[in-house]
Structure 1
Amino acid sequence: MKVAVIGCTHAGVFSAQTILQEQPDWEVTVYERNDNLSFLSCGIALWVGDHVSDPKKMFYSSPESLASLGANMKMEHDVLSVDVDAKSLVVKDLKTGVETKDTFDKLVVTTGSAPVIPPIEGIDNKNVMLCKNYAHAKALKDIAPSIKSAVVIGSGYIGVEIAEQFAVTGKDVTLFDALPRVLAKNFDKTITDRVQKDYEDHGVKVQLGEKVVGFSGDNEVTVKTDKGSYTADIAVLAVGFKPNTGLLKGQLDMEPNGAIITNEYMQTSNPDVFAAGDASVV
């Protein structure tokens, strides 16, 4: 049995690991576009805030660990296209630029999620940063000691956590959200009012009900909203994530947001294709 696994953060790691433990004679190839796997993105804020003594603690597995189980690890390989019916895929080696075609009997889609990046003016400003994967985290960690101020856009879990750590390490922080409450999608008003007060008591300026409409600036970034403008050393965009499933669009049943629909066995509408993690929904 030949199995291809696309994406190897969390669901991909455990999928490959479980398959090889249960079926050690199967041929399992893992395709991952990054040079690392198993990054604990939930700990980015703690790392940036100097609560993690060693960056190695932000990972719990490695390519070598999966290879020792028998996986054929294709790190820094980007899957460009998938043909579910033909059971084939095209992949690019990001180090050499060489494209190759491979086949599979079973496919595991664990491509995760990607940050929502609104199509607004100046979104590609060098001082607008993301907070999702290891590369984003490393960039934030590296720049944190040299900045004095930050604007955080989005007051969901990711936004409030990074805003907290910037604040407790002495940065001037402004937290934005277009919604009327922080963590509005997670808690009721009784809780969010208390959370907002705690942030304000610690010096965070909380700007709610403001929609960001643009970014500008070179050495600093000016964030323009529908109610004013605010300047800081950096802006962190944390307005949410979406399933990263464009490779399979039109080939598998999906929710309107792109999440691949699966049954209780994680099978998709094609029984030879499985999906798990942020890319899927049961």
Structure 2
Amino acid sequence: MASTGRERLVVIGGDAAGMAAASQARRLKKPEDLDIIAFERGHFTSYSACGIPYWVGGEVDGPDALIARSPEEHRERGIDLRLRTEVVELDPDRSRVRTRQVDSGTEEWTGYDKLVIATGARPVRPPLPGIDAPGVHGVQTLDDGQALLDTLGRLEGDHGRRAVVVGAGYIGVEMAEALLLRGYRVTVLNRGEQPMSTLDPDMGRLVHQAMDGLGIETVAGAEVTKILTGEDGTVRAVATDDAEYPADVVVLGMGVAPETALARDAGLPLGSFGGLLTDLSQRVRGREDIWAGGDCVEVLDLVSGRERHLPLGTHSNKHGQVIGANVGGGYATFPGAVGTAVSKVCDLEIARTGLREKDARAVGLQYVTATIEATSRAGYYPSAAPMTVKMLAERRTGRLLGCQIVGREGAAKRVDIAAVALTAGMTVEQIVALDLGYAPPFSPVWDPVQVAARKAVAAVRAG
């Protein structure tokens, strides 16, 4: 336990969830009532990791523009923020953490009355030969983004620069765009059938076609076996079972996993995805003095009723607010999520919420699907852009199960209609009846989401 006369809150992790929790707790409790110590192993705090691809691509400035609140600002608000300090051990039985200063190696124990674990997620980095060679980059933190930009800077001026992106999820397609904007010839190696495995394959195929049209070579069924290096030890190619792809730089976009090694070693409860399990207040199950939030936890899927790992900044910030309220003496809960996410590759917008077909099958739900093509505005209005909308509805009941949208300008944020409907447990018939805004510059008379819902209603009635 902390030795001071007042309570001590220790926060592990200085990004969205951790610092949101610390800031909210500080709003509710004064320094004379609550000491707050936050440990962060990197150089930055409270930043938008989602903005890294756009910083790398030159579309936004960085890193300062991506920082919501600097370390100095947190300290001015009464938070003892310690950068370049890594927590290397949790001792829940004695209410303390062991830290190591990254630069000096100095270690010490720090006691706590309340603990927040916000360790985030780590990029998937399989133990392949050459995976740690210079020129191979993961992209998870601002430090990672700066390291990649340093490599790209060293290559500036070289002719015929080639980049290989391993993986075609959100990070993969966004980094492919960033490298394309920087003048690289880009190859994306994807282990799956289509890019964006968060979509059904038929919708992923639309993304594949668009990437091909942009000049991004996307290779399906490509299982990377090794990273090949030159005489100087830097990357020169990526090898699969049947080919080699030349590369001056490699970006790993193979997804992320919860960073929960500390929690696992301390005996805290983990779910099937390796994330920490919490209750509705974000308190770690079975522990009265430990909370967790952000990419290191699993959340309740409101559609399937199962726990999922949903590493998104939206959830991280909400978790932090909930934790901060609870440790600061207030009350808040996080009820769960429906898995809404949007992305883009150049002018192609990609959105999804709820369940894919394989998700529905995995939980035993019978469903119908409906796919339509529409435009973002009235067809006669200038700049009306095409989009494809796919909707899943439960057989017999018509309950909305999921929605996916791929299209041009004006497509992605329409998924929010479906996200609200999913959260409310609405049927596709109720979606058809929604009173949505209409004017030719903004939408056809029937919004594309409602057109898909109409077709889903017909499928439900036929089934």
TM range (shorter): over 0.9
Match of 1:277 in 2: 294
Amino acid at match of 1:194: L
Shift of residue 75, structure 1, vs aligned partner: 1.2
Shift of residue 253, structure 1, vs aligned partner: 0.8
Comparing 189-198 with 18-27, greater Cα deviation is found at 189-198
In the alignment, which of 119, 123, 137 is matched to residue 129 of structure 1? Answer: 137
Amino acid at match of 1:227: D
Provide runs of 4+ in structure 1 moved above 4 Å: none
In the alignment, which of 191, 215, 222 is matched to residue 210 of structure 1? Answer: 222
Match of 2:442 in 1: none
Other structure's SS at 1:44 match: helix
CA offsets, 1:43-73, max 9 Å, x none? 1111111111353111101111111221111
Amino acid at match of 1:247: L
Matches within 5 A, 1:190-229: 190-218=202-230, 219-229=234-244
Shift of residue 257, structure 1, vs aligned partner: 2.9
Residue 12 (structure 1) aligned with residue 18 (structure 2): yes
Amino acid at match of 1:171: Y
Amino acid at match of 2:229: G
Give the Cα separation in 1 of the matches to 2:65 and 2:276.
31
Q: Is the 8 A contact 1:128 1:221 kept in 2?
A: no
Other structure's SS at 1:277 match: coil
Q: Is the 8 A contact 1:48 1:137 kept in 2?
A: yes
Shift of residue 4, structure 1, vs aligned partner: 0.5
Match of 1:157 in 2: 170
Residue 177 (structure 1) aligned with residue 187 (structure 2): no
Q: Is the 8 A contact 1:47 1:141 kept in 2?
A: no
CA offsets, 1:233-254, max 9 Å, x none? 1111110111111111152111
Q: 1:254 to 1:220 in 2, by over 3 A?
A: closer
Shift of residue 38, structure 1, vs aligned partner: 1.6
Q: Is the 8 A contact 2:134 2:235 kept in 1?
A: no
Amino acid at match of 1:252: L
Amino acid at match of 1:29: I
Match of 1:251 in 2: 267
CA offsets, 1:120-162, max 9 Å, x none? 1111111211111112101222333526110000000000001
Shift of residue 92, structure 1, vs aligned partner: 1.3
Shift of residue 220, structure 1, vs aligned partner: 4.2
Amino acid at match of 1:208: A
Other structure's SS at 2:178 match: helix
Q: Is the 8 A contact 2:236 2:247 kept in 1?
A: yes
Give the Cα separation in 2 of the matches to 1:247 and 1:54.
31
Matches within 5 A, 1:27-176: 27-145=35-153, 146=156, 148-176=161-189
Give the Cα separation in 1 of the matches to 2:169 and 2:48.
18
Equivalenced residues, count: 281
Q: Is the 8 A contact 2:46 2:67 kept in 1?
A: yes
Give the Cα separation in 2 of the matches to 1:100 and 1:232.
43
Residue 26 (structure 1) aligned with residue 67 (structure 2): no
Other structure's SS at 1:268 match: coil
Other structure's SS at 2:125 match: coil
Amino acid at match of 2:11: V
Give the Cα separation in 2 of the matches to 1:62 and 1:216.
39
CA offsets, 1:78-104, max 9 Å, x none? 111110111011111223322111110
In the alignment, which of 244, 257, 261 is matched to residue 277 of structure 2? Answer: 261
Give the Cα separation in 2 of the matches to 1:97 and 1:21.
33
Give the Cα separation in 2 of the matches to 1:181 and 1:236.
19
Taking structure 2 as the reference length, what is the TM-score of the superposition?
0.59
Shift of residue 33, structure 1, vs aligned partner: 0.8
Give the Cα separation in 1 of the matches to 2:195 and 2:105.
44
Q: Which has the higher contact order (CA 8 A, sep 6+)?
A: 1
Q: Quick one: percent identity of the two aligned structures?
A: 30
Q: 1:220 to 1:265 in 2, by over 3 A?
A: closer
Amino acid at match of 1:275: A
Give the Cα separation in 2 of the matches to 1:220 and 1:34.
25
Give the Cα separation in 1 of the matches to 2:151 and 2:131.
19
Q: 1:189 to 1:5 in 2, by over 3 A?
A: same
Amino acid at match of 2:172: G
Match of 2:429 in 1: none
Q: 1:162 to 1:154 in 2, by over 3 A?
A: same
Other structure's SS at 1:259 match: coil
Give the Cα separation in 2 of the matches to 1:121 and 1:252.
33
